[in-house]
Structure 1
């Protein structure tokens, strides 16, 4: 993925998953001595491959061979992605307006991401800047996906009492993410490669659509929205793994923004 060769990346991923299933790493039939280094390593490996595999019933156990900071950061990633459960995946892949995505589900899922954020903040002193940048950007990207599911199912309203069902929810996402990103170094972001680029691109692209097509509020509100959007467009354009297609998409929306404003 870091080399932008997604076909080869998914080929290797599928092969790794097949090997994990052949070794029955997900059977949860661990030896009695569950502190064996190889057993603990296999637990971590299974969670790394867990995009399409059934989640294990418990979190990876602590391995004394791994530093505490690495262990805490890894567990935070695992806990964040356990929120991308079967319902999340099926709702994302389902057809529009089929009744699967409901306001209650959207609200519940957003609240779960907020709780994860609070838990991560409580452990922030144990996380490196790189870990914090990855977790923060990934969480806001997943929140953006939840909002897009609500949008595709016509659940949004400009006067919705719940923020995550508002047409302007991406504005809030971008504002919160900007506060976090400005505290991170550029190096702590770009070290994550193509994956972080895709997440930041999708967040920024979604915000661009909101700025362009959702009716503007006061002059100050409009200026603040545009300022946040331009901040992230500038950031995304500096990322080394941004390909020409994504540049063209954001460039076209930037030109549209200039003509509108």
Structure 2
């Protein structure tokens, strides 16, 4: 149902989906349903509710984290121990939900009002979001990303899960794009609260962090087929668009970022030092190309993106050839 809602851009209908999930959860908990079914419904309700709330500035209905609930932990343990007897498709689906749940769990619910634009920072006294909380949430997001890549999850370290690359390609697309989008949203929240600097000691609190997020997003999308992303509908391309807009905002706010700006990365996992990345211009070209190709450009984000790019002094969509972002 959510995929259909996103694909036809019926955002308001997603409120109906939330009601359906609440009713489904109530029915499941009040009948003789197995603990495994309860867990699946709880996962699905929680992840969809938070996804919709954060993307559409809606209130969160399912407060708290299922991961710290004793009943949930027992149900999860039961599911995990019996998963070897289940259809592999069920196990793969459950694993994807687990990774999404940990991803959304990294977002502190106390900052949702700031996220939705009802923040008191403009009055000079926001008590919900500060530098310390921002860094804690960034670290939690990083752990969620690292966990899914190796097949683990923070709230159940003993669980043996399939790593991200062994899930369905459509799951990989949803999880990866969502994780990088949440990093971008956190970064933008830091921007609105005056926490970003050109030369912060923390990478996440620098203006050029938007460059890193855009580059990693494109690297993840490079190994995915377009259909695996398109199946999620316009909600996914909206996340890609948001990340692109974050990069443009960073460039307009920084004294160091420009269209020809690039960064060198060091990756200790592959022992590559001073690998020069693509320029901001190339990243924007690649993001624009991805948005244009998504469902043949049959959505509003193509025109919005094109208009924004045309307003950037010196930008030309054909100035440089395609550049690898790996």
What TM bracket, shorter-length normalisation?
0.7 to 0.9
**Alignment pair present for 1:208 and 2:248:** yes
Tell me how far 1:190 sits from its aligned partner: 1.5
SS in 2 for 1:49: helix
Contact 1:124 1:132 in 2 (8 A): yes
Q: 1:150 to 1:48 in 2, by over 3 A?
A: same
RMSD in angstroms over aligned alpha carbons? 2.7
Contact 1:147 1:165 in 2 (8 A): yes
Contact 1:113 1:143 in 2 (8 A): yes
Question: When the two structures are superposed, what TM-score results if normalisation uses the length of structure 2?
Answer: 0.69
Distance in 2 (alpha carbons) for counterparts of 1:218 and 1:49: 42
Residue 53 of structure 1 is matched in structure 2 by 62
Runs of 4+ off more than 3 Å: 20-25, 63-66, 216-220, 241-245, 258-261
Contact 1:174 1:207 in 2 (8 A): yes
Residue 176 of structure 2 is matched in structure 1 by 136
Contact 2:25 2:42 in 1 (8 A): no
Unaligned runs of 5+ residues in structure 2 are 50-60, 151-162, 263-277, 317-326
SS in 1 for 2:8: coil
Q: 1:156 to 1:188 in 2, by over 3 A?
A: same
Contact 1:156 1:166 in 2 (8 A): yes
Unaligned runs of 5+ residues in structure 1 are none
Tell me how far 1:141 sits from its aligned partner: 0.3
Residue 13 of structure 1 is matched in structure 2 by 17
Instruction: For residues 162-196 of structure 1, give each alpha carbon's deviation from its aligned partner in whole angstroms, at most 9, with x where no partner exists.
Output: 01111111111111112221122222221221221
Instruction: For residues 90-114 of structure 1, give each alpha carbon's deviation from its aligned partner in whole angstroms, at most 9, with x where no partner exists.
Output: 4413415213211111111111111
Distance in 2 (alpha carbons) for counterparts of 1:135 and 1:189: 11
- Which of 154, 167, 174 matches 2:194? 154
Question: When the two structures are superposed, what TM-score results if normalisation uses the length of structure 1?
Answer: 0.84
- Which of 210, 214, 226 matches 1:170? 210
Of the structure 1 ranges 126-135 and 236-245, higher mean CA displacement relative to structure 2 is found in 236-245
Contact 1:201 1:236 in 2 (8 A): yes
- Taking the TM superposition and a 5 Å limit, the aligned residue runs for 1:162-241 are 162-217=202-257, 220-221=260-261, 224-240=279-295
**Alignment pair present for 1:86 and 2:141:** no
Q: 1:23 to 1:70 in 2, by over 3 A?
A: closer
- Which of 27, 30, 40 matches 1:23? 27
Distance in 1 (alpha carbons) for counterparts of 2:106 and 2:138: 10
Q: 1:166 to 1:181 in 2, by over 3 A?
A: same
Contact 1:134 1:192 in 2 (8 A): yes
